[in-house]
Amino acid sequence: MAKQYDVLFRLLLLGDSGVGKTCLLCRFTDNQFHPAHISTIGVDFKMKTIEVDGIKVRIQIWDTAGQERYQTITKQYYRRAQTKVEEIVQEVFDACKTNHHVSQFVLHRDKHFHYLKRGLRQLTEAYECLDASRPWLCYWILHSLELLDEPIPQSVASDVCQFLSRCQSPQGGFGGGPGQDPHLAPTYAAVNALCIIGTEEAFGVINRKKLLEYLHSLKQPDGSFLMHVGGEVDVRSAYCAASVASLTNILTPALFAGTAEWIARCQNWEGGIGGVPGMEAHGGYTFCGMAALVILKQEHLLDLRSLLRWVTHRQMRFEGGFQGRCNKLVDGCYSFWQAGLLPLLHRALHARGDTALSMTHWMLDQSALQEYILLCCQCPAGGLLDKPGKSRDFYHTCYCLSGLAIAQHFGSGDLHHEVVLGVPENRLQATHPVYNIAPEKVVRAVMHFLQLPVPNLEPEATE
């Protein structure tokens, strides 16, 4: 029997219950809409054949039930995806087995440098979707360069300062680009980028009084912060607010009243921290929550042992990298979001008198993490990525390198100890585990702004 189509596509619809997956599918396949459609049980199936430029295309679509109800289906999807990732990673590892020498573990510094250098001056059209994240691009690139110990030319630094000054809002804080509304995420990125530059020009960009006013406008009665006026609340906003306030010397008790207690309520039964109280623990939120509490000197509010158990179980036994949540795949960016928690936990547990802590290593497999980043996360043309088969980008370049730095450097001062996998040239500069910029840049910024008084927001008396 002759085939009734030229090309076959198989699609799978995933998502929560009641969001309209089946209605969308029926509209496409049958041109019908049922406002009171019965919920899908298990898996349903639809087919449609269309013609595109004279080619008959058949589409087979599996419509699944809400994954929060049918966890067995979710496990099947995860199991197959996890198996596929392990197969790809195994291929990378096998390629090195025949010549398993330290020379296999090489950080392609020059290629990463040229990729980053180009990004500061010109971006491809693929970055159009990040038009509201331009301070982030500045931060990701500048921080990656400082980790590689590549100096930033004065002319480039000055251009970045001028650009970020145009992103600063008259209301206080920074938007995602010139003329855009202020938002705590690009505010965090802009302040970090300016602190990395660390010049008088850079520090002078920040309008501290307006920034303090803006932070107060986002503060909620329960201690949390909005991400932007009229926006969502989650742990990221608390961290972004605490980070910029502490770096610029505008952190006041009134501004953060109740914030530490609110963050502590976001720790769930798993041990990690969710976006808001009651949510699933997530690596990014957990880092933000823990780092904010370190800034506020309130780490003791968390169940630290439970948090330690949760984060150490996120390091993948086979790949060596970290996953962001339970039953998720490895991702290079969590090399920082998860591994960066370990120095913070080490410090907090040491302050509590825990005598079982190592004096030379963090509580993770530092060599395995470096192996995953060096073998599986480097793009041959420069830049780093999530996992083999994914595309490079500045976000993953920044956080893969940050995680690599965390894995290479233990402690500071007399306790500083290095574990550098591969050739000595793989060594990166250290990063501050709270702010994720160079430790000396944190000190420079803090010392600069400590010389300035905290802005007074009280209205001036009139005669």
The catalytic residue positions are: 282, 325, 328, 331, 333-334, 386, 393, 396
Percent composition of the chain: helix, strand, coil (DSSP 3-state, to 5)? 50, 10, 40
Residues 115, 381: Cα–Cα separation, whole Å: 8
Tokens linked to 426: 């793989």
Alpha-carbon separation of residue 267 from 73, 152, 296, 407, 427 (angstroms): 28, 39, 16, 25, 35
Residues 229, 210: Cα–Cα separation, whole Å: 15
Cα 158–Cα 162–Cα 167 angle in degrees, nearest 5: 145
Query: How many CA atoms, within 13 angstroms, populate the side-chain half-sphere of residue 327?
Result: 13
3-class DSSP state for residue 179? coil
3-class DSSP state for residue 330? strand
Residues 430, 440: Cα–Cα separation, whole Å: 10
The pair phi, psi for residue 437, each rounded to 5°, is -135, 170
Calculate helix-pair angle for 394-408, 134-147, nearest 10 degrees: 40
Kindly provide the b/e burial profile for residues 418-451, where b requires at least 16 CB atoms within 10 angstroms of the residue's own CB.
eebbbeeebbbbbbbbbbbbbbebbebbeebbee
